[in-house]
Amino acid sequence: MSETIIPAIVEGGKASAGPPLGPALGPMGVNIGQIIADINAQTAAFSGVKVPVKVIIDKATKKYRIEVGSPATGELLKQAIGIEKGRKGGADDPKVVGDMPLEKVIGVAKAKGAKNLSKNLKATVNEVLGTCVSLGITVNGQDARKVREEVAAGKHDSLIGG
């Protein structure tokens, strides 16, 4: 069984037969329209966010399956507060591009869910807060590093759930 894997990054629910998928799928002899429709159905929950997908095609039978990855944490954060870009200078750049409540940070951590390597939700929240630092997003009006310390100390366990 010889399979071909076609990786792509598409906007949730808005994949098209144009690049990057169309030109890669064309020579495979598969129903491109059906594959695009299936990708759009599976990524609809991530509308407006770039999502990694893999189309795995069996060359002999022309059957396919689609694997949808988890959007990047930064993409989910930018969507949550309605910005297009984070700061350019990294964690040492003092520029703040937005603020969000801790509840939204927890929501992003839950959206990462099972596709994340963290042991529990608290660890995932800490990872998301680290991405907030990199993007220049404050949490509850304060530096995300300070909120990470509070989460580690257990101050927000009632929100996170332990």
Summarize the confidence of residues 26-43 as an average pLDDT.
93
The pLDDT, as a whole number, for residue 1 is 56
Nearest to 99 by CA among 69, 132, 74, 55: 132
**Do 149 and 80 have their domain in common?**
yes
Structure tokens at 39: 């990708």
CB atoms within 10 A of CB 107: 14
Q: What is the residue-averaged pLDDT of the chain?
A: 88
Close Cβ partners of 127 (under 8 Å, ≥ 6 residues apart): 73, 109, 112, 116, 118
3-class SS of residue 50:
strand
pTM: 0.75
**Do 92 and 61 have their domain in common?**
no
**Do 83 and 21 have their domain in common?**
no
**Do 60 and 98 have their domain in common?**
no
**Do 57 and 103 have their domain in common?**
no
**Do 63 and 77 have their domain in common?**
no
pLDDT digits (tens, 9 = 90+) for 86-113: 887 765 667 889 999 999 999 999 888 7
Boundary (domain end) residue, out of 11, 34, 68: 68
**Do 39 and 99 have their domain in common?**
no
**Do 77 and 155 have their domain in common?**
yes
Total domain count for the chain?
2
**Do 47 and 78 have their domain in common?**
no
pLDDT exceeds cutoff 80 at 157: yes
Domain that holds residue 18: 3-68
